[in-house]
Amino acid sequence: MTNSKMPTILCIASFFKGNEFIRECKRRGAGVVLLTREKLLGAEWARDSLDDLIAIPGKTSVQSYLAAATYVARQRRVVRVVALEEYDIVTAAHIREHLSLPGMGTTIARSFQDKLAMRCKANVVAIPQPNFVSLVNYDVLDEFMKQTSPPWMLKPRIGASSMGIKKLHEPEAVWRAVAELDARESLHERSDFHLLEQFVPGDVYHVDSLVVAGKVLFATVERYGAPPFDVSHSGGVPLSYFVKYGSREERALLALNRKLLKGFGFEQGVTHAEFIRPAASAQYKNEQFIFLEVAARVGGAYTADTIAAATGTDLWREWARIELATPECPYILPPVRREYGGIAVSLARHENPSTCHYDDPEIVYRVSKPWHVGLIVRSPDQGRVVSLLTEYARRFREDFTAVAPAEERAEQHL
């Protein structure tokens, strides 16, 4: 029988992730209900920690999730709605507003999912970023290309990683891409659901944060070995590693991240933000760092595992604790270890590649996923982490690495 008095966390996940969040909610005495897509019903969800698992049939929509959430709320005391995945951030906000629950509403949520909305918001709060333009008005687009130098990045307004992004070098290529998008059958794949921004060469970093009452209580800064777009479109082994504690780049990025989250009105939860350090010859050379994008989610590609290895802080677990905190039992960040972590991960030529010949004592986690290979390392010496990952990238290319074409859009999986 359903316990209608037990506080329930309603989770939404269009992709498989977030089991540790679910488990921590259950460990802390909350009910947990998960809404997901029907095709993910057989995924290895933490079923022993779920009070209910509801599959949305067919092609999901805000309305289908809203109907399912209302059904749950009629039987349970839902206190929080959490999007475990980037594609569900605005959907969760719609549900909160419909059920009059606390948390981020649709206006703020859109700035953490829609790349055009976040660009416009960053302009308002004076966050440095690439020049950009909406693809709604073609005259405005034409003027933008006359006033900015190529190359330009054509981006879907909604999407994670580098999926669907194209680098274009001349106006004719932009107009051809716009025509191709406008010829698509689905409205959400046409040009007005994209934006164009000036390409900024440079190093890419990510800052991952835990936020309570508008204050960043915990944040880490990592640098990618190469920009994610370059890796996804040209091949290579993705690397990510902690920058030195107290360094100039860490201080600057932590400050810019705080300004970003405050300006965007983010009050509670977890965020993953990316920034670029422009190359010396770039137009933005007077800016130490510029904003790339931000999402109200845990970073992908084993980011949480890397951070946990270095700091002892599990972002999924702490996020759950934040959502369940009350005035009587406020959230308290546990002690944080100050070591360095990093990851090398790649597609593999074999379904179950073996890393037994990689035996450095700094290895703390081995990725176990079909057709993938990956190692996470930890050390008190940042230089040792970078040295190991650089060596692993070379060895991975020889031993394992496979290259797949960059995916055009996530909708093919929905």
pLDDT digits (tens), the chain, 414 positions: 455 678 999 999 999 999 999 999 999 999 999 999 999 999 999 999 999 999 999 888 899 999 999 999 999 999 999 999 999 999 999 999 999 999 999 999 999 999 999 999 999 999 999 999 999 999 999 999 999 999 999 999 997 666 789 999 999 999 999 999 999 988 889 999 999 999 999 999 999 999 999 999 999 999 999 777 777 666 678 999 999 999 999 999 999 999 999 999 999 999 999 999 998 755 666 679 999 999 999 999 999 999 999 999 999 999 999 999 999 999 999 999 999 999 999 988 889 999 999 999 999 999 999 999 999 999 999 999 999 999 999 999 989 876 655 555 555 445
pLDDT, position 11: 98
Q: End-to-end CA distance of the chain: give it in Å, rounded.
A: 33
Task: Give the Å distances, CA to CA, from 379 to 4, 38, 362.
Answer: 47, 42, 6
Q: Tell me whether strands 7-13 and 77-83 are parallel, antiparallel or unpaired.
A: parallel
User: Strand, coil or helix: what is 326?
Assistant: coil
Q: Which amino acid is at 357?
A: H
For 41, half-sphere exposure in the C-beta direction (CA atoms, 13 angstrom radius) is 9
User: Strand, coil or helix: what is 278?
Assistant: strand
**Residue pair 344/301 in contact by the 8 Å Cβ criterion:** no
User: Strand, coil or helix: what is 21?
Assistant: helix
Element (H, E) at 324: helix 315-324
d(CA 9, CA 100): 14
Strand ranges of the sheet holding 290-295, from the earlier edge strand across to the other edge: 290-295, 269-278, 202-212, 215-224, 239-242, 340-347, 372-379, 363-366
d(CA 305, CA 209): 14
User: pTM of the entire structure?
Assistant: 0.93
d(CA 357, CA 372): 16
**Residue pair 221/207 in contact by the 8 Å Cβ criterion:** yes
pLDDT, position 233: 61
pLDDT, position 287: 73
- 168, 169, 174, 175: CA torsion to nearest 10: -150
pLDDT, position 286: 67
DSSP annotation string for 193-261: GEEEEE---EEEEEEEEEEETTEEEEEEEEEESS-HHHHHHH----EEEEPPTT-HHHHHHHHHHHHHH
pLDDT, position 1: 44
Q: For the chain, which domains are there?
A: 7-110 (3.40.50.20), 131-198 (3.30.1490), 202-399 (3.30.470.20)
* Torsion 396-364-216-301 (CA) sign: positive
**Residue pair 245/358 in contact by the 8 Å Cβ criterion:** no
